């Protein structure tokens, strides 16, 4: 199942930036937003291979950035093979690297692995890398197909990462002593 992600407050990270390339992973963040909004992840007949809740989320983020005087562009990935940012081909990574040269910063909507994928492509002096989401755990859910060709997730539970679980157990043990 996908990772459950939470939005991070990136306002301070974007202070002084004029332009940002938003680089979304189209799987885990899109699932997260659709589950959070209780909306279909995909609506294949009306929005083929796009997640309307995630597209709205990105547009809202762009509006907030514009209010702060930051121009933004989205690095789009339309093919299913490009949905997982952390598994992009070398050709896709080269295309992103060329695009990054035009921006002050890169805002990654994805997990730590997605952010590292982008970070590997640039020199620290060229472009500031900003992680826009943080991992909350694994999402355990049932995939549901319903008319007219919509794909949703139901019965979602968040399974903590083993490291988080261990830290929580340590804290509980320390409190009980």
pLDDT of the residue at 57: 95
- pTM to 2 decimal places: 0.83
**SS3 breakdown of the chain: % helix, strand, coil, rounded to 5?**
40, 30, 30
pLDDT of the residue at 130: 95
pLDDT of the residue at 165: 55
pLDDT of the residue at 170: 55
Residues of the chain with pLDDT under 70: 1, 43-48, 80-82, 124-125, 163-177
Structure tokens at 115: 């952010």
Helix residue ranges per DSSP H, the chain? 11-14, 28-37, 52-67, 90-100, 112-119, 162-176
User: Which of 175, 154, 172, 156 has the alpha carbon at shortest distance from 164?
Assistant: 172
User: Which of 109, 9, 135 has the alpha carbon at shortest distance from 64?
Assistant: 9
pLDDT of the residue at 151: 85
pLDDT of the residue at 171: 59
- Contact between 137 and 4 under an 8 Å Cβ cutoff? The reply is yes
pLDDT of the residue at 93: 92
**β-strands 71-74, 19-24 pairing:** parallel
pLDDT of the residue at 124: 61
Q: In what order do the strands lie in the sheet with 71-74?
A: 71-74, 19-24, 105-109, 128-131
């Amino acid at each position: 199942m996908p990772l459950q992600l939470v939005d991070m407050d990136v306002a301070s990270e974007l202070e002084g930036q004029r332009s940002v390339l938003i680089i979304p992973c189209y799987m885990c963040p899109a699932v997260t937003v659709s589950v959070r909004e209780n909306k279909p992840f995909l609506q294949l007949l009306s929005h083929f291979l796009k997640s309307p809740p995630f597209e709205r989320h990105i547009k809202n983020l762009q509006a907030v950035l514009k209010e702060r005087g930051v121009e933004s562009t989205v690095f789009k990935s339309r093919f299913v093979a490009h949905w997982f940012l952390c598994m992009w081909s070398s050709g896709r990574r080269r295309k992103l690297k060329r695009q990054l040269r035009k921006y002050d910063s890169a805002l990654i909507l994805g997990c730590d692995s997605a952010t590292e994928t982008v970070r590997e492509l640039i020199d620290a002096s060229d472009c500031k890398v900003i992680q826009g989401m943080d991992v909350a755990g694994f999402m355990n859910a049932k995939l549901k197909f319903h008319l007219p060709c919509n794909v949703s997730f139901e019965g979602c539970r968040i399974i903590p990462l083993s490291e988080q679980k261990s830290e929580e157990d340590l804290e509980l043990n320390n409190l009980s002593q």
